[in-house]
Amino acid sequence: MKDFAIFWGCTIPARFPFLEKSTRMVLEGFDLPYRDLDGFTCCPEKSLVNNVDHGLWVLTAARNIALLDKAQVDLVSPCTGCASNLATVNSELHMNHKEKEKINNILKEVGLEFKGENKLRHLVPFFHDEVGIPKIKNKIVKPLYGMRVAIHYGCHMIRPSHALKNDDPLDPKKFDNLIRAMGAESVQYMTKLMCCGQGLDRVDQHENALHFARLKLKELKAKNVDAMVLCCPSCYLQFDNNQFLMEKEGEKFGIPILYFTELMGLAMGYKPEELGIDSHRIDANGFLEKWERLNRELTKTEEITRAMEAGFGIA
């Protein structure tokens, strides 16, 4: 596998360093050739920078991509926004040579050149396509059998599809496959592909943002899921933090929000505290207790099976 740089983005290191922790633990657990690259800035966020100045949005992303060209490494990001923004600009510059030339004239002054020769991927499709399900299954020591998990893809893991080419933009499967490989059930629900709505919090429309959070959480509560799993810090903020704010006002949902790397880390046998799951605002105790109980029962079943096989002389 080619070496890759991890693009952490702004939100994970600034607000959720524990998500960085679980991501590193999982990458190291799989012994993947990742590295931290100096010099990255904000990807930059489309809904902020592109709205104000398209040219600067393209230029900043092109500079980040040019750093990869210089180091000759691929990129993997645990943030959907970063992955999508970088891929969108990458695709735009591959189609618009005039713009690329203009960009490179400026990048020359800081010793860089945009070529866009390396793969830009989000962590989830990266795991699905490059690590692969068989290898993942081999790493699972404490499967999630019996756990009912609702996947929230996060818009920018899969859209815009012309740039990301990660999965079907309207009927994605890869995240589901990964969750199933860990042994969990991926619960299907009506609002599965709906946007989290966190963007509204960034334009001072907090009530509307809560409205969107509520839509999904209500449905998931009715579906009696054990947790929601996602892989985007912005969606995480929306469902963990905003759920916490609503619970403080008396609206109870009780849906733990787990990051993809946390769920994977648990299945790989890491402790919840090591992974930083105790830093969440919505505690995951209900999820963890059920999972421990099911695993105990599973061990018991296995013991009985072994004893019976020995008794019948099958083993």
Partner 1 sequence: MESLDLKLLEVCSRCGACYHICPSCLNLPDYDPRAVIKDILAGKYEKWLNHKSIWQCLECHHCLEICFQRYGFENAMTAMRTVASKKGITSPQVKRGWDMFIKTGRLGEPMASARKKLNLPESAKSGAEDFKKMVKLYQEEKTAGSKE
Closer by beta carbon to partner 1, 68 or else 181: 68
Report, in Å, the least distance between residue 206 CB and partner 1.
10
Report, in Å, the least distance between residue 308 CB and partner 1.
45
- For residue 205, the tally of other CB atoms under 10 A from its CB is 13
Provide the Cα torsion 181, 184, 185, 186; round to 10°.
Answer: -70
Report, in Å, the least distance between residue 20 CB and partner 1.
6
User: How far is Cα 117 from Cα 120, in angstroms, rounded to an integer?
Assistant: 9
Report, in Å, the least distance between residue 163 CB and partner 1.
10
Closer by beta carbon to partner 1, 75 or else 184: 75
Closer by beta carbon to partner 1, 81 or else 143: 81
Report, in Å, the least distance between residue 162 CB and partner 1.
8
Supply the DSSP string of 186-211, one letter for each residue: E---TTTTS---GGGGGGT-HHHHHH
Give the H/E segment covering residue 121. Answer: strand 120-122
Closer by beta carbon to partner 1, 150 or else 181: 150
For partner 1, the binding residues (CB under 8 A) are 8, 10-11, 13-15, 17-18, 20-21, 24, 36-42, 44-56, 59-60, 63-64, 67, 106-107, 109-110, 155-156, 159-162, 169-170, 194-195, 197, 199-200, 202-205, 208, 211-212, 215, 276
Report, in Å, the least distance between residue 286 CB and partner 1.
24
Report, in Å, the least distance between residue 45 CB and partner 1.
6
- Among residues 16, 80, 71, 84, the alpha carbon closest in space to that of 40 is found at 71
Closer by beta carbon to partner 1, 202 or else 293: 202
268 token code pair: 């790989």
Contact in structure between 144 and 226 (CB atoms under 8 Å)? no
* DSSP-assigned letter for residue 152: -
51, exposed or middle or buried, with CB in 10 Å at 0-12, 13-18, 19+? exposed
Closer by beta carbon to partner 1, 135 or else 162: 162
92: three-class secondary structure by DSSP: helix
Contact in structure between 233 and 15 (CB atoms under 8 Å)? yes
Closer by beta carbon to partner 1, 197 or else 256: 197
Measured CA to CA in angstroms, residue 231 lies from 46, 98, 270 at distances of 18, 35, 18
